[in-house]
Amino acid sequence: MTPAPRPLLPGATLGVLGGGQLGRMFVHAAQAMGYFTAVLDADPASPAGLVSHHHIQAGYEDAAGLAELARLSDAITTEFENVPAAALAALAAQRPVAPAASAVAVAQDRAQEKAHFVRCGVPCAPYAVIETAAQLAAVPADLLPGILKTARMGYDGKGQARVATAAELAAAWEAVDRVPCVLEKMLPLALECSVIVARGADGMVVHLPVQRNLHRDGILAVTEVYESNLPQTLAAQAVEAAVSIANGLQYVGVLCVEFFVLEDGRLVVNEIAPRPHNSGHYSQNACDVSQFELQVRTLAGLPLTQPRQHSAAVMLNLLGDLWFAHGAAARTPPWDQILALPGTHLHLYGKHDAKRGRKMGHLNITAPTAAAARATALQAAELLGLPAF
């Protein structure tokens, strides 16, 4: 490990590119530890901007805004993987930036991401890069049926299409205007899981417990984290793979690595997110160190200690659809009934308008046992009109 730089102690100002909910929770964690914060986001009502000491209302590529963020901040991070890597590189010329632009650039491009997995020796789904008509014509037949994904700007299931034949593949590529894509072979999935790792500038790596995830319509719906959520051997493989991926990037910051567990028990990596992740939200109430405190520690160069989970946990993602469960007019969900349940912790993001599909908050449920956490989570889901799981 390389010698650690001098840490930024509380009283310093930590900057963040992006003003969404992840930035908001980072700001809350930094402020709780005694740091000042600065947020760059063009939206005057951005969730993070509303609670930060400084809110720079500018776009990610606005030179004056970036200069102001650098002036105010002692170190800078990001809460959104599609922030231009060039903006991070420009900031890094003036201030410490974590994660680095080079690591974010890999996460922004599925072709680079897949190549990195291969270099790290971590199994992923068989795939082909499609950037030209010749590459389209050369796609092996055994990659079908598959999922065509745009190489850039895809998240929460966006920019994806299932294709069963060569004709469907060609049509799907035309539908996205022939932008660079990756075709992944469709594999028989048993479940999905993820690992949150935090890596310091000195190479120290810690991780949260492996998270078992359920997605609906491409968006994370439920995360369950307790000792028996996955076989121990599989969980250990996921942690080892996530650490290898982070080390291969010389990553500094919080990184989420998402995996598929196949029906035959094999583990394959799906994608990475160079930031805290929905599946790590449970750590706010179930662990002694949350993913957002880990983000503060990695950015400030503070020591990393292995987080300890003290309670079984279930996280329910709260989309704007819940506000429209009883008709076209928005109605506030029954939070009083939800909070009457033991071990419920409500986190809302300060977004003014509920919209279908919009992430409005999450509900963490903690309990002494996995059975108790699941039972309460199912009660909460029923009250909210969410499907059982």
Provide the CATH number for the domain around residue 140.
3.30.1490.20
Residue 298 corresponds to which amino acid?
T
Specify whether 315 is located in the same domain as 286. Answer: yes
In a domain? residue 104: no
43, part of any domain:
yes
Here the CATH number for the domain that contains residue 274 is 3.30.470.20
Q: How many domains are contained in the chain?
A: 3
Instruction: Please check whether residues 195 and 314 belong to one and the same domain.
Output: yes
The CB density around residue 118, as the number of other CB atoms within 10 Å, is 11
- Give 308-338 pLDDT, tens digit per residue: 999 999 999 999 999 998 878 889 999 999 9
- Dist. CA 35–CA 47, nearest whole Å: 18
Q: Which of 97, 113, 143 represents a domain boundary (last residue)?
A: 97
Regarding whether 237 and 143 lie in a shared domain, the answer is: no
- Tell me how far apart the alpha carbons of residues 331 and 34 are, in angstroms, rounded to a whole number: 37
Mean pLDDT score, 91-114: 95
Residues 370 and 294 occupy one common structural domain: yes
Q: Which of 142, 141, 150 is nearest to 173 (CA)?
A: 150
| Residue 87 maps to a domain | yes
pLDDT digits (tens, 9 = 90+) for 174-212: 999 999 999 999 999 999 999 999 999 999 999 999 999
Taking the C-alpha atoms of residue 154 and residue 278, their distance in angstroms, rounded to an integer, is: 16
Same domain? For 237 and 306 the reply is yes
Same domain membership, residue 65 and residue 140: no
Q: What is the pTM of this model?
A: 0.95
* Residues spanned by the domain of 78: 13-97
Inside any domain, residue 108: no
Question: Looking at residue 47, what DSSP letter applies?
Answer: T
Tell me if 138 is assigned to some domain.
Answer: yes
Q: Domain check: are 345 and 269 in the same one?
A: yes
| DSSP one-letter code for 363 | E
Q: Are residues 266 and 359 in the same domain?
A: yes
Q: Say what the pLDDT of residue 86 is.
A: 86
Contacts of 301 (CB under 8 A, 6+ apart): 4, 5, 6, 7, 8, 75, 96, 200, 201
Task: Please give the pLDDT value at position 22.
Answer: 98
Assess whether 169 and 81 both reside in one domain: no
Do 241 and 261 reside in the same domain of the chain? yes
- Dump pLDDT digits (tens) for 241-300: 999 999 999 999 999 999 999 999 999 999 999 999 999 999 999 999 999 999 999 999
What is the per-residue pLDDT for 156?
Answer: 60
349-355 average pLDDT score: 94
The first and second tokens of residue 103, run together, are: 């690591």
Is 72 in the same domain as 160? no
Residue where a domain stops, chosen among 58, 80, 97: 97
pLDDT digits (tens, 9 = 90+) for 19-69: 999 999 999 999 999 999 999 999 999 999 999 999 999 999 999 999 999
Based on the fold, state whether residues 255 and 366 are members of the same structural domain.
yes
Closest CA to 367 of 341, 387, 346, 329: 341
Residue 4 lies in a domain: no
**Could you say which of 76, 97, 118 is where a domain stops?**
97
Strand order in the sheet with 36-40: 54-56, 36-40, 13-17, 75-78
Q: Is the pLDDT confidence value at 1 over 60?
A: no
8 A C-beta contact, residue 248 and residue 107: no
Residue 56 in domain:
yes
Q: Determine the pLDDT at residue 153.
A: 76
The encoded tokens of residue 53 equal 């000491």
Whether 155 has a pLDDT exceeding 80, the answer reads no
